[in-house]
Amino acid sequence: MAIGLLGSAANCAENEMTVQISSEPTQFDPFMMEDGVGMQLAANTIASPYEYDSDGNLKPALVEKLTVSRDHLRYTFRFKKNLKWSDGVSFQSSQFMLAIKRVVNEVVRPATSQFFPKIDLKRSRAIDALTVEVVLLERDPLFTAWCTLPAFAPLRPDMLEIYQSKRTPVVPTLAAYQVVDYKRDEWLQLKANPLFYDQARVSIQDIKIRIIKDEAALYSLLKAGSLDIVSRVPALQLEQFKKISTINETRIEGLTYLGLNVRKPPFNELKNRQFFRDAVVEKNGELAQLLKTGEIGATTFIPALLWQPGFHGLSDSRSPGELKRVDSKLKVNLQSDNGSRNLAIMEFVQSICKKSQAWSTVLDIMDFKTHYAKLKTEPNEAYRFGWLNPVSDPYVMYQVLMSKSPNNFTGWANADYDQAVEALRRETVLIKRGQWVSKIESILYREAPVVPLLHQVARFGISKRVLGFHANPFGVMRFREFRLTPQ
């Protein structure tokens, strides 16, 4: 397909689906993939041993059989027979071992690597062409869940060379689709892999992913037939989108929150953090209504999707009448990236500061890359941040705020919290997991290092010719399950 057509507003081809995303993945190397856009691409173009289906259920993908030792330290993977890469090369167990070696040995690591399982590389090995034995140094009940991540996907040495030298996603694949062409910050062209192990179930043969950042352009492009799927419907255009498309709202395992920098005044004082948290959380329902994004006002760090048996939310939250007034002569710089939704959130928080606390506030708004870089060096007193789970478990949400987490920009550290989160990771009895969740949420409530704002909802706009649309609890679309019908 000509490059000119890929970037144009021409109508979607009859046998091709065109999907909009708002940004390019930050990395194409599977080991370094960790952002939401990257996970969306990986779900369709990178095959891991395990996967999450459209309903968020964990299931084998490349694996035919898994045997686990009694001590839960030895995992023996038997891969499917006749697996082939899109270029005809046969799968070999050594390709999975290459991925395992990178998980253990890579020096430059993604932020998500902190919760990778601890693997005994000396005792892990490829037994034969289709069998790999992975030995853990300590039990990890989430090990098969980690094996859904792109970092654990089988990899060939020639592919690794391409990722590292050319920084392109155009490589062979074991997945349903292969990226066959790519133009930076503009588009990716996907084509169905004829050698995919479940190719008979793949209906759509060609997919164009267009990177369109301008929200104002999306409605016109969808109406004109230049897009089939909009990955995030702008709230202000929702009613217009309803007239020309099907709206899908999917609750996802994600949270938008304010982090409070405990190293700086005023949030180095606990009473200020608690008062600020209570004043904002009281209005979260109003915030959700204002945004009209379908999101839900949050009172807990984890969404209800991840609540464990025995946990039913916080019981020790204060009523508005119990809020303790603090010093009004305080200043807070509110930091965020410049997305329209996020700017609206920060303006809402600013209004609360003025009405409830009479605090002086300044909005510090910047592009996302600058925002993220500043968080890593010198974050403001309060900053907007979000977390979307890459695998389904409360532990993965809570690890964000552990003392050594690279995503904890608050400066807050609490030994009891760290111990409780690690205990949750190891626990397998559901009712006990619920008890750990209760303890963790109570610590967060008492210490107030963050202010939960919204439990996230992914809202898609889908053209009438797309059938079978579904997104899982990570907001991921599995293109191989969709179909197209002529208009």
Average pLDDT of span 253-280 = 95
Residue-level pLDDT at 125: 97
Domain definitions of the chain by residue range: 3-27+160-250+458-484, 48-157, 251-457
Alpha-helical segments (H) within 282-362: 284-291, 340-352
- What pLDDT band is residue 5 in, cutting at 50, 70 and 90? very low
CA of 254: how far to CAs of 183, 193, 303, 444, 456, in Å?
30, 31, 7, 17, 5
Beta-carbon neighbour count of residue 366 at 10 Å? 14
CATH number assigned to the domain covering 251-457: 3.10.105.10
Query: Are the C-beta atoms of residues 402 and 410 closer than 8 Å to each other?
Result: no
pLDDT exceeds 70 at position 295: yes
Task: Note the pLDDT tens digit of each residue in 297-339.
Answer: 999 999 988 988 878 776 555 444 444 555 667 889 999 998 8
Residue-level pLDDT at 2: 33
Average pLDDT of span 289-294 = 89
Residue-level pLDDT at 15: 84
Average pLDDT of span 75-104 = 97
- What pLDDT band is residue 3 in, cutting at 50, 70 and 90? very low
Specify the amino acid at residue 38. Answer: G
Residue-level pLDDT at 316: 52
Cα distance between residue 71 and residue 98, in whole Å: 25
pLDDT exceeds 60 at position 6: no
Query: Are the C-beta atoms of residues 87 and 185 closer than 8 Å to each other?
Result: no
- What pLDDT band is residue 387 in, cutting at 50, 70 and 90? very high
Level-2 CATH architecture, domain 3-27+160-250+458-484: 3-Layer(aba) Sandwich (3.40)
Encoded tokens for 99: 């991925």
Cα distance between residue 385 and residue 453, in whole Å: 10
Residue with tokens 């689709």: 177
- For 447, residues 6+ apart whose C-beta sits below 8 A from its C-beta are 270, 273, 412, 414, 417
Average pLDDT of span 371-380 = 93
- What pLDDT band is residue 147 in, cutting at 50, 70 and 90? very high
Encoded tokens for 178: 């292969």
CATH number assigned to the domain covering 48-157: 3.90.76.10
Residue-level pLDDT at 8: 41
Alpha-helical segments (H) within 359-407: 368-377, 394-398
Same fold, 48-157 and 251-457: no
- What pLDDT band is residue 9 in, cutting at 50, 70 and 90? very low
Residue 441 C-alpha from the chain's centroid: 21
pTM across the whole model = 0.89
